[in-house]
Each structure stands twice: as C-alpha cells, then as structure tokens.
Amino acid sequence: QIQLVQSGAEMKKPGASVKVSCKASGYTFTSHGINWVRQAPGQGLEWMGWVSTYNGNTKYAQNFEGRVTVTTDTFTSTAYMELKSLRSDDTAVYYCARPTGGGYLPLGFWGQGTLVTVSS
C-alpha cells in the first residue's frame, strides 16, 4: 500500500535549520510530486511548497520563498524539506503529502507528520 513515512521530531534553536525527510513506498516515486504542508499548534493547514519527483522542479509559497528548499532523492524514494533561519513561530507539525493523480492536488496520501519545535 502507498505509504509516506516521515522522520522523527526535531528540537531546534532560533536561527538554526531543520531538514525533514519523507520516504515513499508502494508506488513509482517519480510518477507523483510531493507537497509540504505545515500546521502550527491549534492552527490551520499552510501549504509550503511542491517538488517534482520526476525532474526536481519546485514551487514555493510566497511566505516561505528563500527560506525553504524541497528536494528529492530518487534512489531512495525520499523527499526532503529544509527550512532555514528558524523562528519560534515555525514550531509546527510538518506533513508531506502526495497528490492522488499527476498534478499538484488533491492531496490523497499524507505522511504521519513531523513535529518541529523551535525554542531557545
């Protein structure tokens, strides 16, 4: 079955960077892009960016442009999201999500989420 398994919780200091991984299985990795969505405590969903697993093309939300980088490793079927210059308001659960089809949406498959805590 299709699975997206994310790396474990992280605790970072302000100004640091974090890199979250998302390992895919159960389908051809290069057939579907990967989106990253975050959710601050008690808040709604916020889209961060998308990466093509076929050619590495990316799209980013304006709010994160310049601070986030999404990449893939086709050999290990793993997607990565790196967020730099962390602030306390970056504390959130970060999800990877795969569309059901070949486009950007809808997000039919989700990872379990990775809690990133930013605190001094």
Partner 1 sequence: QSVLTQPPSASGTPGQRVTFSCSGSTSNIGNNVVNWYQQLPGTAPKLLIYSSNQRPSGVPDRFSGSKSGTSASLAISGLQSEDEATYYCAAWDDRLHVVFGGGTKLTVL
Shortest Å distance, C-beta 105 to partner 1 = 6
Nearer to partner 1 among residue 1 and residue 120 (C-beta): 1
Nearer to partner 1 among residue 16 and residue 40 (C-beta): 40
Q: What is the DSSP string of 11-37?
A: EE-TT--EEEEEEEESS-GGGS-EEEE
Nearer to partner 1 among residue 59 and residue 84 (C-beta): 59
Q: Is residue 6 within 8 Å of 20, Cβ to Cβ?
A: yes
Nearer to partner 1 among residue 82 and residue 107 (C-beta): 107
Using CB atoms within 10 Å of the CB of residue 76, give its burial: 0 to 12 exposed, 13 to 18 middle, 19+ buried.
Answer: exposed
Shortest Å distance, C-beta 13 to partner 1 = 26
Shortest Å distance, C-beta 106 to partner 1 = 4
| CA-CA-CA-CA dihedral for 86, 90, 45, 109, to nearest 10 | 60
One-letter amino acid of 116: V
Using CB atoms within 10 Å of the CB of residue 15, give its burial: 0 to 12 exposed, 13 to 18 middle, 19+ buried.
Answer: exposed
Shortest Å distance, C-beta 82 to partner 1 = 19
| Residues of the shown chain interacting with partner 1 in the complex, contacts defined by CB under 8 A | 35, 37, 44-47, 50, 59-62, 95, 97, 100, 104-108, 110-113
